Amino acid sequence: MRTIYIRQLRFEEARIKLEREMNDAFMEGESFVEIMHGIGEGILKRMAIDYVQSCGFLKLVERDPMFRGNPGTTMVEVLAPSREYINRLKK
């Protein structure tokens, strides 16, 4: 599972890094990505959620309320073809 660190970045830098790394995760056939945005004022978290919801190939993963996860992260499912299929397309 890939982890994308956007914590402590400026908004525009974080958005560019998130877009680039999500596209890389898609092309590499990743199934899940964890976005580390931190807690703070929630600006980067909101940006990450908005980006995920705007992409047809990404889906937010709902956390089980009984499981205490890290509130400074957002888990995303990448709805991509398998790695084998992508590797065949790259050739």
pLDDT band at 28 (very low <50, low <70, confident <90, very high): confident
- pLDDT tier for residue 70 given thresholds of 50, 70 and 90: confident
- Tell if the pTM clears 0.75, that is, is over it: yes
Q: How far, in Å, CA of 72 to CA of 7, rounded?
A: 9
Determine which of 28-37, 65-74, 78-87 has the lowest per-residue pLDDT on average: 78-87
